[in-house]
Each structure stands twice: as C-alpha cells, then as structure tokens.
A and B are shown apart, each in its own frame.
Chain A
Amino acid sequence: MTSLDKVKQRAEFDAKAHGYYLNPDPEFLLNLLEGLRKNEERYGYPSCPCRMATGEFEVDRDIICPCDYRDPDVEEHGTCYCCLFVDSGTYASKETSPIPERRPMEKQLRAYGIAGEGQPELKQEPSSMLMNIGTGRKILYCKQCGYVVFREEPPYVCPICRAKREMFAEVKARLFFSTGS
C-alpha cells in the first residue's frame, strides 16, 4: 500500500523538477494527496483526484498525475485542474479557484461508461505492441531531444526537455518484428 508520505514526496519531487509548487493550503493539499493515495490503492495508479477514472489504464492514462493537461493548465490558469500543482504567482497569493476542464469530452464520457460519438472503445490492457496497431496510437518523437512516445497525441510539453507540443513529429517508419528464430 502506498503511504501518504510517499505520495507527497513524489508530488514534491515532481513540482520541484518542473518549477511548480504544491497547493499552498495545507488542508486542501492533504485532501488531494489522500485522493491520489486512494486512487492508487483502488486503481493501481494515482489518477487525478478530481476526475472520474475507470480503472482501465489505457482509458485513464491521460489523467494519471501529473496529468497530460497540467502544463498547459498551469501556464494558462496558474494551477492544474485539481489544484495540486500551482505556479509561483498562485503559490504566493495563496488563492486558488476551480478552472475549466481541458480533457476532451469524448474521454470524459468514456470514463462514465458512455462512449463518445464515433470514438472506438480502447482495448483493455494490450499485451503487446502489435495489438496496439490500429488503436490510433502513433510513434512520436521530440525533434528537440529525441524523446519517443507511443500514443494518440503528442504531450503538451516534452517531459524531458520541455519543448512545446509543436516540436513533436510522427515517426513514419515501417516496423518489422523479428520472431527470434
């Protein structure tokens, strides 16, 4: 079982690494950390405490803390969606308020068991890379540092070098899989 201290340490480390701060309200922060701990316990990963998760990793991947939307949200609003991560201005003012949801509606609806229109259901727990072909995921790389991801959309910000989303390009290569014989 993940302890609250471990969840806090992880959040502090991540905030420091990216130049953010944790929510300045100790009680609010504790509630969020406890929410993350609870989600990690029941789903196996710390999904955002302020969003509905399904327990299916592939469906929830974008809302696992730190979520895909944190960087653009902190940049635009001074805080992420759940207000765990804030920028220096928000931290100094000690005032946070709710911000609009950036997660696409079809992903939200999927979390409630309502499939978005025209959106194919994601496969659960793909066991191999081959199975992922056809689910809309692409091999994308950061043109600045070479970081490679395999997902539907590029991240808003490169987690390695902080390059913006526009710096990601798709690897258009044909993949060959060896059988090892």
Chain B
Amino acid sequence: MTPKVAGENSDHRVVLYTLSTCGWCKRTKQFLNDYNVEYEYLDLDTATSQERIEAIQFLQEKNVPIGFPVIVVDGETIISGYKPDKIKEALGF
C-alpha cells in the first residue's frame, strides 16, 4: 500500500522509495510538499516484505544503487538521493 500525498502539481506521477527514519527522505518529502507536488511514497522499513522485495527488484532492474530516497518520475526518470535540482528539472520547474 503506497500512501498518496495530495498536491496541486499532479502532471507527473511521482513515486518515492524512502525509509521512515531517514533524514534525506524527510527532506525530500518536505521539498515536494513545499512545491505542492502530488506524490506517492513507500517507506520500506514499515512496508511488507513482499513490497520491500518488489521495490528492491525494481531498483536493481533499473540499475539504481540501493539508497534512500529514490524518486521515480513517470516511471522513467529515476533520481537517487536528495538532489533538489534534478527533481526540479524532472518536474519541469
């Protein structure tokens, strides 16, 4: 189950893979909140083991280093780590 955070900027489908305790993950969520971006997120530490394995397999398929947060924009653009400039670029800000 991926919680969804509502926002006015919903042109892109933004999915975050995060940990509930991670400082950079919190900062990324805050960044998206500040820009009023709609996004879904999966905190892997509180997810089911099935969700966790699927998420990691997805990242491995895409050759993304396992680290958090991972931001997936429209299923294509993948940003690993908190990189505000790249997030803005991917969202067209």
Instruction: Give A residues with C-beta under 8 Å from B.
Output: 23, 28, 31-32, 34-36, 38-39, 49-53, 82-83, 97-98, 100-101, 105, 108-109, 112-114
Contacts and interface: CB of A to CB of B under 8 A. Distances in A.
A31 B23 contact: yes
B23 A108 contact: no
B65 A32 contact: no
B20 A50 contact: no
**Candidate in A50, A108, A113 with the most chain B CB atoms within 10 angstroms:** A50
Task: Classify the secondary structure of A's interface with B.
Answer: loop
A48 B52 CA distance: 18
The 4 A-B pairs with the shortest beta carbon distances in the complex, nearest first, are: A35-B21, A49-B21, A98-B81, A50-B22
A49 B23 CA distance: 8
Nearest to B68: A50
A51 to B, nearest CB: 8
Contacts of A50: 19, 21-25, 67-68
Contacts of A82: 22-23
Interface string B12-28: 00000001111111110
Interface string B54-75: 0011000000011110000000
A36 B22 CA distance: 9
Interface residues of B, number: 23
Nearest to A51: B19
B53 A114 contact: yes
Contact of A28 (B20, B23, B56): B23
24 contacts: A23-B23, A28-B23, A31-B23, A31-B26, A32-B23, A35-B22, A36-B21, A38-B20, A38-B21, A49-B21, A50-B19, A50-B23, A52-B19, A53-B45, A82-B22, A98-B81, A98-B83, A101-B65, A101-B66, A105-B66, A112-B52, A112-B66, A114-B53, A114-B56
A109 B56 contact: yes
A35 B56 contact: no
Contacts of B57: 114
B27 A39 contact: no
